[in-house]
Amino acid sequence: MKSLLQYSSVSTMAQIHLTRTLLSHLLLTFLSLSTAAHIPAVIVFGDSTVDPGNNNAIPTILRSDFPPYGRDFQNGKPTGRFCNGRLPTDFISEALGLPPLVPAYLDPAYGIEDFAKGVSFASAGTGLDNATSDVLAVIPLWKEVEYFKEYQKKLRKYVGEAHAEYIVNEAIYIISIGTNDFLENYFAVVTGRILQLPVDKFEDFLVSQAAEFLTNIYRLGARKISFAGLSPIGCLPLERTTNVIGKGGCNEKYNRVARDFNAKLQRMIADLCTKLPGLRLRYSGVYDRVLQLINNPSHYGLENVEEGCCGTGKFEMGFLCDSKCPLTCPDANKYLFWDAFHPTEKVNRLMAGLTLSTGLREFI
């Protein structure tokens, strides 16, 4: 394995201190959940990081409802989650005393009696830009909002107007989206956005789209919202593989874009909170957390942070990551990434705990 480069200006001692602090917060969070305020539901919007299987129900090639996806899930069942097991939202739901799985809205195995406690409208491959969802024919973000409206009608019929309003207002909303806008859309050239806008203006456009989306769900009743920033997208295995000039290291250009976007996203979030009465919108900083795993893998029991567990770990995702891959690793817990784009269940569990102890802390 190539030696890890240090992509953070934080000293090693500071990183160790931060690691211990975060783990302490995580422990305290889980110890306090038994006395936490009641959260009636977890409601999710976004992309493959939080899609539990909505893409199974639409005509797209971007799917994961086949082995080895779900290898470490209940009974080894592939559900459409782009992971070997559960997603961060599943762990968050369980920690809040809700069901251990947040179901996909389009999964026919579930109904409104399940969705009343948690539901995900997310679609793998989607983005803040409608052009992103067109690339692989997935559900655009505006359609996720339409599903949310439809859900509320069903909810009112199921529990009544007053209780439906309570669920919608008191639920925790988790938003995870944006990576595909850059890696599948802008830098992939296919939509032509890169010819229309310089990257900083594209960032501004995406932030404006995020603000419009957040305002829309606020008007529909959402109040307690966690919005995840981008991770170091240049360190995804697929981006390392294609970074020939950088000799397989992280693509620092992409990482810089992620940091710039995150800064703009945080300013927008602060602005919205001053404009929309009662909105409790919080930023979830994923970037530094993932960077910690990359720079200090042994602290978390990880051995490989450069490649995915599935296949060669360099480019496999979706249908390229299937049961015929002879090189798939035997123990995903040693890996940061499951495929060339998505984290393992172990990392999803860790990220869920950190989200609970930081961005969602005041809600519980």
List the end-to-end C-alpha distance of the chain, in Å, as a whole number: 41
**What is the rounded CA–CA span in Å between residue 90 and residue 45?**
13
- At residue 103, φ and ψ (nearest 5 deg) are -75, 155
Non-local (6+) Cβ contacts of 217 within 8 A are 45, 145, 148, 173, 225
Instruction: Name the residue among 127, 130, 123 with its Cα closest to residue 106.
Output: 123
From the number of C-beta atoms within 10 Å of its C-beta (0-12, 13-18, 19+), residue 24 rates as: exposed
Bridge partners of residue 45, in order along the sequence: 175
Cβ-contact 286, 228 below 8 angstroms: yes
- Asked if residue 68 has a cis previous peptide bond (ω within 30° of 0), the answer is yes
- At residue 118, φ and ψ (nearest 5 deg) are 170, 140
Non-local (6+) Cβ contacts of 33 within 8 A are 95, 96, 97, 356, 364
Active-site positions read: 48, 339, 342
